[in-house]
């Protein structure tokens, strides 16, 4: 908290909001200059700004980080593209995404990251980074990555339509752990075991109806893969992050491994918190996912993991497919659904239902841990995920009490549908600000205004930009974790 001389002028002042800083929840006025948070002021403190936003009755949150999106660029832009995907993101309060490598071609080489950035530049409302992909037949390709291109690499241990590059070989997996230990890349896993599924397919045949899908892509796939990974972490000491944990057994194993001092972390998705097998029976292909949606007891366990802090972050696993693709026969229908727009509203709505005795301050503290400070810490995004002097001025104005439904015309993803259609959410994003400028503002109903698509590739920004004023470290820096 600083005093301020009346002559000091800021670019932007946000007055009157209850602010979730990342470490605290307080009444504050927030002053922004040069795209960064300049000062946190006592409410009503004397200050002058070019633009003042009054946000009484509202919460102000740090711009949220979604560390797991598939914006489908390059090669699959008929499913999603950066223009639509980033609109969906800012409409849901997300200002930073980390995009997955299973594109066409996949992101296997550092040069692929530069090509991808060239394709995206000028179309993104959000800042972005990329996860590198693990090429099962070319692990050496990971050697060329510097933190500018990626600080993390994702391997698929089971695959499907949009995930054809599967690391099946046990020797190669060991090799990955050996390399991972000294490459400095954090290893991310789609942790389902392809051998388990192949065995089941030989025995039963592939899923013939959506009801069979959970039975033939069961929890055993995830449990076997997670158990193998934990043994490898024990052997090699390489840190891992397990994506989209879907079952109670995986959550238990990973939490136990962490409690035993092993360097493991995990993510939970909004759809595994929001849907259960009963919904699959009703909604069929729409919520066909990899890993599958599981039972109520799994959902309860995953909620405990996000509320108690066992999960380090949440991701949307925003993985759009056209509805016409999704409703093909179960063997043909690709798993995945859009979710970056729904991620935060679904989390907040679910938290309220689960914890009716908790106040909004406490609920938003949990949300900002999972979508702000948590992923920022995991992925080296030092200037993101919190509101403090020197941080990027990525900010979200939230109406905490608004009840609303996601209608068709409000869906921003290129695929044009949402699994949450018909849901009533509580808590609505009114305005999203990135680098001190509004990128999303909701008018009446579904009408919305979007800003300039000048989001930056954070690798590049980290390498090029000198910090503005504050003397904080560059965003990505040269260190690897």
CB closest to Zn ion, residue no: 190
Out of 47, 53, 163, 167, the only residue in the binding site for ligand NCD (CB under 6 A) is: 163
CB closest to ligand NCD, residue no: 336
Choose the binding region for ligand NCD from 122-130, 332-340, 341-349, 436-444 (rule: CB under 6 A). 332-340
If contact means CB under 5 to 8 A according to the sort of partner, which of Zn ion, ligand NCD, none does residue 476 touch? none
Instruction: Report the C-alpha gap between 156 and 145 in whole angstroms.
Output: 19
CA distances from 292 to 133, 189, 208, 295, 446 (A): 22, 16, 15, 10, 31
CB of 165 to ligand NCD, least distance (A): 11
Q: Where are the beta strands (DSSP E) in 365-460?
A: 395-405, 424-434, 437-442, 448-450
If contact means CB under 5 to 8 A according to the sort of partner, which of Zn ion, ligand NCD, none does residue 142 touch? none
Choose the binding region for ligand NCD from 43-51, 230-238, 334-342, 377-385 (rule: CB under 6 A). 334-342
Out of 315, 335, 372, 436, the only residue in the binding site for ligand NCD (CB under 6 A) is: 335
Total residues at interface with Zn ion (CB under 5 A): 1
If contact means CB under 5 to 8 A according to the sort of partner, which of ligand NCD, Zn ion, none does residue 70 touch? ligand NCD
* Residue count (the chain): 481
CB of 73 to ligand NCD, least distance (A): 12
Instruction: Report the C-alpha gap between 201 and 160 in whole angstroms.
Output: 13
Half-sphere exposure of 301 (CA within 13 A, CB side): 16
Instruction: Report the C-alpha gap between 351 and 410 in whole angstroms.
Output: 23
441 near Zn ion (CB under 5 A): no
Q: Considering beta carbons, is residue 190 or 412 the nearer one to Zn ion?
A: 190
Instruction: Report the C-alpha gap between 254 and 317 in whole angstroms.
Output: 20
Choose the binding region for ligand NCD from 206-214, 331-339, 420-428, 429-437 (rule: CB under 6 A). 331-339
190 near Zn ion (CB under 5 A): yes
273 near ligand NCD (CB under 6 A): no
Q: Considering beta carbons, is residue 72 or 190 the nearer one to Zn ion?
A: 190
270 contacts: CB under 8 Å, gap ≥ 6:
314, 316, 339, 342, 343, 346, 347, 350
What is the H or E stretch that residue 233 is in? helix 219-236
Q: Considering beta carbons, is residue 190 or 248 the nearer one to ligand NCD?
A: 190
Q: Considering beta carbons, is residue 221 or 372 the nearer one to ligand NCD?
A: 221
Neighbours of 304 (CB within 10 A): 15
CB of 325 to ligand NCD, least distance (A): 10
CB–CB of 347/225 below 8 Å? no
Q: Considering beta carbons, is residue 80 or 149 the nearer one to ligand NCD?
A: 80
Binding string, 285-324, against ligand NCD, x = CB under 6 A? Answer: ----xx--------------------------x-x-----
For residues 27-86, which are near ligand NCD according to CB under 6 A?
A: 70
CB–CB of 345/430 below 8 Å? no
CB of 335 to Zn ion, least distance (A): 9
190 near ligand NCD (CB under 6 A): yes
If contact means CB under 5 to 8 A according to the sort of partner, which of Zn ion, ligand NCD, none does residue 47 touch? none
Instruction: Report the C-alpha gap between 430 and 93 in whole angstroms.
Output: 9
CA angle, 152 then 61 then 239, to 5°: 20
What separation, in Å, do the N-terminal and C-terminal C-alpha atoms of the chain show?
Answer: 31
CB of 229 to ligand NCD, least distance (A): 16
- Tell whether the torsion through CA atoms of 321, 324, 327 and 333 is positive or negative: negative
Instruction: Report the C-alpha gap between 159 and 140 in whole angstroms.
Output: 21
CA angle, 124 then 128 then 132, to 5°: 130
CB of 415 to ligand NCD, least distance (A): 11
Instruction: Report the C-alpha gap between 137 and 129 in whole angstroms.
Output: 24
Closest CA to 172 of 144, 137, 197: 137
Choose the binding region for ligand NCD from 46-54, 178-186, 333-341, 417-425 (rule: CB under 6 A). 333-341
Q: Which residue, chain included where needed, has tokens 């908790």?
A: 358
Total residues at interface with ligand NCD (CB under 6 A): 12
If contact means CB under 5 to 8 A according to the sort of partner, which of Zn ion, ligand NCD, none does residue 289 touch? ligand NCD
CB of 354 to Zn ion, least distance (A): 25
Tokens encoding 275: 């849907």
How do 127-130 and 94-99 pair as beta strands?
A: parallel
Q: Where are the beta strands (DSSP E) in 44-108?
A: 48-54, 59-62, 64-69, 94-99
CB of 327 to Zn ion, least distance (A): 21
CB of 69 to ligand NCD, least distance (A): 10
Binding string, 116-155, against ligand NCD, x = CB under 6 A? Answer: ----------------------------------------
Q: Considering beta carbons, is residue 190 or 365 the nearer one to ligand NCD?
A: 190
Q: Considering beta carbons, is residue 158 or 461 the nearer one to Zn ion?
A: 158
Closest CA to 265 of 130, 379, 96, 150: 379
How do 36-41 and 29-33 pair as beta strands?
A: antiparallel
Q: Would you tell me which residues interact with Zn ion (CB under 5 A)?
A: 190
Q: Would you tell me which residues interact with ligand NCD (CB under 6 A)?
A: 70, 102, 162-163, 190, 289-290, 317, 319, 334-336
């Amino acid at each position: 908290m600083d005093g301020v001389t009346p002559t000091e002028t800021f670019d932007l002042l946000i007055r009157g909001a209850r602010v979730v800083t990342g470490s605290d929840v307080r009444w504050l006025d927030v002053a922004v200059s040069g795209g960064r948070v300049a000062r946190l002021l006592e409410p009503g403190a004397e200050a002058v700004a070019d633009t003042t936003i009054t946000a009484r009755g509202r919460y102000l949150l740090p711009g949220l980080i979604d560390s797991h999106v598939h914006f489908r660029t390059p090669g699959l832009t008929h499913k999603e593209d950066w223009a639509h995907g980033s609109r969906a993101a800012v409409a849901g309060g997300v200002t930073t995404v980390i995009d997955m490598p299973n594109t066409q071609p996949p992101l296997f080489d550092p040069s692929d990251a530069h090509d991808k950035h060239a394709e995206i530049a000028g179309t993104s409302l959000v800042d972005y980074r990329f996860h590198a992909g693990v090429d099962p037949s070319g692990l050496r390709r990971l050697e060329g990555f510097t933190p500018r291109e990626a600080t993390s690499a994702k391997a698929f241990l089971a695959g499907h339509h949009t995930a054809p590059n599967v690391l099946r070989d046990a020797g190669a997996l060991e090799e990955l752990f050996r390399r991972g230990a000294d490459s400095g890349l954090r290893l991310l896993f789609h942790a389902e075991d392809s051998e388990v599924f192949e065995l089941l397919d030989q025995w039963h045949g592939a899923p013939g109806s959506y009801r069979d899908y959970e039975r033939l892509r069961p929890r055993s796939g995830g449990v076997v893969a997670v158990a193998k990974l934990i043994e490898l972490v024990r052997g090699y000491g390489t840190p891992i992050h397990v994506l989209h944990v879907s079952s109670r057994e995986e959550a238990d194993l990973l939490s136990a491994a962490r409690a035993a001092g092993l360097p493991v972390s995990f993510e939970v998705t909004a759809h595994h918190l929001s849907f259960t097998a009963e919904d699959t029976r009703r909604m069929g292909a729409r919520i066909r996912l990899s890993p599958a949606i599981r039972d109520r007891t799994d959902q309860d366990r995953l909620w405990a993991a996000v509320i108690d802090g066992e999960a380090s972050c949440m991701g949307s696993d925003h993985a759009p497919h056209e509805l016409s693709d999704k409703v093909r026969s179960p063997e043909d229908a690709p798993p995945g659904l859009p979710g970056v727009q729904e991620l935060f509203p679904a989390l907040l709505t679910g938290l309220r239902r689960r914890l009716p005795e908790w106040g909004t301050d406490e609920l938003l503290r949990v949300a900002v841990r999972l979508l702000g400070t948590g992923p920022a810490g995991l992925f080296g995004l030092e200037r993101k995920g919190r509101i403090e002097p020197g941080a990027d001025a990525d900010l979200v104005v939230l109406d905490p009490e608004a009840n609303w439904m996601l209608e068709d015309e409000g869906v921003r993803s290129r695929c044009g549908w949402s699994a949450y259609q018909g849901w009533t959410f509580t808590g609505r994003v009114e305005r999203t600000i990135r680098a001190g400028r509004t990128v999303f503002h909701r008018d009446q109903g579904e009408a919305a205004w979007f800003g300039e698509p000048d989001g930056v590739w954070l690798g590049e920004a980290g390498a090029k930009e000198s910090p503005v004023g504050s003397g904080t470290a560059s965003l990505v820096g040269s260190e690897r974790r």
